[in-house]
Amino acid sequence: MKTCLNVLMAVLAFVAVAGSNAHCVVGARFFPATLSVDDPCVADELSFPTIASFKNGDDPSTRELDMAAEFSKRITDNFGISIGSAWTQLNPPGGSNVHGFQNLEASFKYQFLTEPARELVMSGALDVEFGHSGSGAVGAESFSVFTPTLFVGQGFGGLPDNTRTARPFALTGQIGYAIPSKSWTTSIDPDSGDTTKELNPQFLTYGGSLQYSMPYLRSNVVDLDLPGFFNHLIPIVEFQFQTPVANYHGSGIGTTGFVNPGVIWIGKYFQVGLEAIIPINRASGTSVGVLAQLHFYLDDLFPNSLGKPIFGNASASAKLALGN
Partner 1 sequence: MRIVRVLGSAAALVLFGNVAGAHAFLDEADPRVGSTVRAAPREVTLRFTQDLEPDFSSVAITDASGQRVDAGKPGVSGNVMRVPLRPIGAGNYRVTWRVLSTDTHTTEGTFTFGVAAP
Please say whether the beta carbons of 268 and 300 come within 8 A: yes
Q: Which of 152, 260, 166 is nearest to 213 (CA)?
A: 166
221 contacts partner 1 (rule: CB under 8 A) = yes
Q: Which of 25, 29, 50 is nearest to 273 (CA)?
A: 50
Report the residue from 11, 25, 98, 253 that binds partner 1 according to the rule CB under 8 A.
25
17 contacts partner 1 (rule: CB under 8 A) = yes
Interface stretch with partner 1, choices 174-182, 189-197, 216-224, 233-241 (CB under 8 A): 216-224
- Alpha-carbon distance of 283 to 56, in angstroms, equals 8
- Which DSSP letter does residue 138 get? G
Footprint (CB under 8 A) of partner 1, residues 289-318: 296-304, 306
Closer CB to partner 1, 39 or 299, in the complex: 299
Please say whether the beta carbons of 42 and 155 come within 8 A: no
161 contacts partner 1 (rule: CB under 8 A) = yes
- Alpha-carbon distance of 58 to 151, in angstroms, equals 30
Closer CB to partner 1, 1 or 17, in the complex: 17
- Alpha-carbon distance of 178 to 163, in angstroms, equals 39
Smallest distance from partner 1 to CB 98, Å: 18
End-to-end CA distance of the chain: 21
- Alpha-carbon distance of 274 to 290, in angstroms, equals 7
Interface stretch with partner 1, choices 176-184, 203-211, 213-221, 244-252 (CB under 8 A): 213-221
27 contacts partner 1 (rule: CB under 8 A) = yes
215 contacts partner 1 (rule: CB under 8 A) = yes
- Alpha-carbon distance of 320 to 314, in angstroms, equals 10
- Alpha helix (H) residue ranges in 103-232: 214-216
Closer CB to partner 1, 63 or 232, in the complex: 232
- Alpha-carbon distance of 276 to 234, in angstroms, equals 15
14 contacts partner 1 (rule: CB under 8 A) = no
Closer CB to partner 1, 69 or 204, in the complex: 69
Site string for partner 1, 102-121 (x = CB under 8 A): --x-----------x-----
Footprint (CB under 8 A) of partner 1, residues 247-286: 268-269
Q: Which residues bind partner 1 (CB under 8 A)?
A: 15-23, 25, 27-28, 30, 46, 48, 69, 71, 83, 85, 104, 116, 161, 164, 215, 218-223, 225, 268-269, 296-304, 306
